[in-house]
Structure 1
Amino acid sequence: MTGPFADYGRPRRVEGGLRARSTRGAIGRSWWSRRFLEVLESFALGTRLTRGRSYARAGQVLDLDVAPGVVTARVQGSRPRPYQVRIAVEPFPAARWEQVEAALAAQAFFSARLLAGDLPAELEELFAATGVPLFPAGVDELDQHCSCPDHAVPCKHLAATFYLLAEAFDADPFELLHWRGRRRADLLDRLRALRAATGPGRDDSNPGRDDGSGGTAAPVSTGDGRDAARTSDGPGAPSTGDGRAVPAVGAARALAPLPAAPLADAVDRFWVAPVPLPDRPPSLAAAPDLLLRQLGAPAAGLGGPGLTERLGRAYREFGRFRPEADRPEADRPEADRQEVADDGAATTSGGGTAT
């Protein structure tokens, strides 16, 4: 073998390296880790990423560290010294993060999920509406570097780091937000403070309106010296700082058109659905005797095909939505009374004793 890579062979075995939990198939269990890898593959990096999958599963990544704007790792290759890997992305400015936090705190749906340690899928939409996409929008947003001699970007060492990074997002979704510039503790503390500042008497779908206050506006700091006011004229979504309101997403989108109500009325109607529920369908989606059809004909000693027919009529009767079913027998339609009489006669003639 000749060429610049003649001195390189199989990677050195590693003891105690970071090994991907996925042993086959796709890597990534949560929506955010799968979405992260999908975005990378959309940059035409799919075939290059697969080169590092075996490295990730073999435990060749010695360590992985996530910091605001940068991910660093050491990956063991064929040389004695591990390669240094660095993946950088521009963290969100502090002003943008304050806008995102205000939008998150304005909707109890997001605050509850984040405080519970989960990232709702609607989070990507909220970040995009605020002007800061959660995932990189182009490959040029990623600054990738590896100390190996391979000129391909990403090389297998970078690719292995991407896969382990996706699994790190699986284990702790807040690592994704940390990479984008906000530590978990700082974000949750900020959300708790913003939620506490709104007070228990404010409505989440209209944060700028206090109960009985007449619709005063509540300013939200944008981090650049300006205040984005929440007014009572709309659904109360915070402003992005350039005059555009952040649209409500998730549950708040469905509840936004509902009028604000005083706290006393809200308590009285706590168990009442804010949106009317659909009526229960009057008929079953499947035939009532569907299971009976799958059993086949019973043995002759049990009644044979005649038993199946009689049970079928009984199941259809049970599954029929008929308010008149509670009427006295004399008031029921003649066809129903005749069917019951036929069933009774068939049972007696089948050799059984009526009791």
Structure 2
Amino acid sequence: MRRGTAGADRSVRSRRCPPHQGRGFATSWWGRAWLQALEDTALDGQQLKQGRQLARKGGVGAVSVRPGRITAMVRDRDGTAHRSDVLLQQLGAGAWDRFLDMAVDRAGHIAALLDREMPPHLVEDAAGAGVELLPGIGDLEPECTCGAWDHCPHTGALCYQVARLLDEDPFVLLLMRGRDERRLLDELQVRSAARAIRPGDGGAAEATDDAEREVRGVPAGEAFGAAGILPPLPAPPWPPRRRGLGPSLDTETPPAPGIDPAALEVLAADSAVRAHRMLLDA
């Protein structure tokens, strides 16, 4: 894994949250896991307490999220502004390959992410593939213009604010790990389509062989003599050699409210793969 943005997706998301009025900053289990990593890493709990106060009072400006880094301007109670960054290692190419292979084999994982959920079994399956999605102790590395070498109130406030963003959308975490939502969905769609033409599928090979058999003609005498006999039903058509491609939903017309064309393309591609396999196995 690596830090920074070199060679990675450079998409950036920016969001400003209003002052926090509730008691806790995270309601989702993955948001709480993020804060647990922060609190396990920081050496001075008093610094984090001050950070929570700054976040509650609206001291955190717009949060910029990009691969390997989150950034915001954080204001002290006296109005002094500091640029605060928290770094998180990105996943390497091999780790992303393992994660995508795992996700495409389990349609429930894709559906959960599209529903802005991160079920525990997704994180567990990723860990089983050697991919750690959530940060652990020591993984959240602080940088702040206040000069602190450990987590200070400013980086603490930033992390508490990001926990709120994670509650709303777990794709924020995946962006920090190196993939934005659009790129991730595109790669899942490609891998889902590739499963339909994976080498070694016996059903597909048999269908191809049958489709290429020579069709013999019928002698004219036999055809004339059988003219008054009701012919048998025709044989079912041969299964297609490979599944078709779904229509592109990327049009100039804006989608209706609540409709995510990218998500629909991924689900349609996955459904086509499964339907094709069922047809070959019938």
Under TM normalisation by the shorter chain, which class is it?
0.5 to 0.7
Aligned to 1:263: 278
Aligned to 1:49: 48
- 1:19, 1:56 within 8 Å by CA — same for their partners in 2? no
Aligned to 2:165: 168
Q: Residue type of the partner of 1:212?
A: G
- 1:86, 1:146 within 8 Å by CA — same for their partners in 2? yes
Distance change >3 Å, CA 46–CA 114, structure 1 → 2: farther
Shift of 1:88: 0.8
Report the Cα distance in structure 2 between the residues aligned to 1:100 and 1:208, rounded to whole angstroms: 21
Aligned to 1:188: 185
Report the Cα distance in structure 2 between the residues aligned to 1:265 and 1:183, rounded to whole angstroms: 35
Secondary structure class of the residue paired with 1:182: coil
Shift of 1:187: 0.6
Larger mean Cα displacement after TM superposition, 56-65 or 77-86? 77-86
- 1:102, 1:194 within 8 Å by CA — same for their partners in 2? yes
Question: Normalising by the residue count of structure 1, what TM-score does the alignment of the two structures yield?
Answer: 0.49
Shift of 1:183: 0.5
Distance change >3 Å, CA 188–CA 33, structure 1 → 2: same
Question: Normalising by the residue count of structure 2, what TM-score does the alignment of the two structures yield?
Answer: 0.61
Aligned to 2:112: 113
What is the 5 A alignment of 1:210-229? 210=201, 212=203
Report the Cα distance in structure 1 between the residues aligned to 2:126 and 2:160, rounded to whole angstroms: 23
Shift of 1:266: 7.8
Aligned to 1:58: 57
Shift of 1:57: 0.9
Report the Cα distance in structure 1 between the residues aligned to 2:42 and 2:154, rounded to whole angstroms: 17
Report the Cα distance in structure 1 between the residues aligned to 2:88 and 2:40, rounded to whole angstroms: 17
- Residue by residue, what CA displacement relative to the aligned partner does 1:234-255 show, whole Å, maximum 9, x if unpaired? xxxxxxxxxxxxxxxxxxxxxx
Report the Cα distance in structure 2 between the residues aligned to 1:186 and 1:263, rounded to whole angstroms: 29
Q: Which runs of 5+ in 2 are unaligned?
A: 1-15, 206-276
Secondary structure class of the residue paired with 1:26: coil
Shift of 1:184: 0.8
- Cα RMSD for the two superposed structures: 2.9
Count of residue pairs brought into register by the alignment? 196
Aligned to 1:157: 154
Secondary structure class of the residue paired with 1:51: helix
Q: Which runs of 5+ in 1 are unaligned?
A: 1-16, 215-261, 268-355
Q: Is it true that 1:143 corresponds to 2:141 in the alignment?
A: yes
Task: Please say which structure displays the higher CA radius of gyration.
Answer: 1
Report the Cα distance in structure 1 between the residues aligned to 2:126 and 2:64, rounded to whole angstroms: 24
Report the Cα distance in structure 1 between the residues aligned to 2:50 and 2:199, rounded to whole angstroms: 52
Distance change >3 Å, CA 179–CA 20, structure 1 → 2: farther
Aligned to 1:127: 126
- Residue by residue, what CA displacement relative to the aligned partner does 1:118-174 show, whole Å, maximum 9, x if unpaired? 3222121122222231122331x332111125x462111111101001111112210
Report the Cα distance in structure 2 between the residues aligned to 1:181 and 1:148, rounded to whole angstroms: 27
Report the Cα distance in structure 1 between the residues aligned to 2:19 and 2:36, rounded to whole angstroms: 18
- 2:171, 2:181 within 8 Å by CA — same for their partners in 1? yes
Report the Cα distance in structure 1 between the residues aligned to 2:85 and 2:144, rounded to whole angstroms: 6
Q: Residue type of the partner of 2:278?
A: L
Distance change >3 Å, CA 20–CA 172, structure 1 → 2: farther
Q: Residue type of the partner of 1:115?
A: L
Report the Cα distance in structure 2 between the residues aligned to 1:193 and 1:155, rounded to whole angstroms: 43
Q: Residue type of the partner of 1:135?
A: L
Report the Cα distance in structure 2 between the residues aligned to 1:266 and 1:113, rounded to whole angstroms: 28
Secondary structure class of the residue paired with 1:73: strand
Aligned to 2:221: none
Shift of 1:81: 4.5
Aligned to 1:101: 100
Aligned to 2:36: 38
Report the Cα distance in structure 1 between the residues aligned to 2:280 and 2:190, rounded to whole angstroms: 27
- 2:66, 2:176 within 8 Å by CA — same for their partners in 1? yes
What is the 5 A alignment of 1:64-83? 64-78=63-77, 80-83=79-82
Report the Cα distance in structure 1 between the residues aligned to 2:153 and 2:69, rounded to whole angstroms: 19
Distance change >3 Å, CA 28–CA 208, structure 1 → 2: farther
Instruction: Give the fraction of aligned pairs with identical amino acids, expressed as a percent.
Output: 31
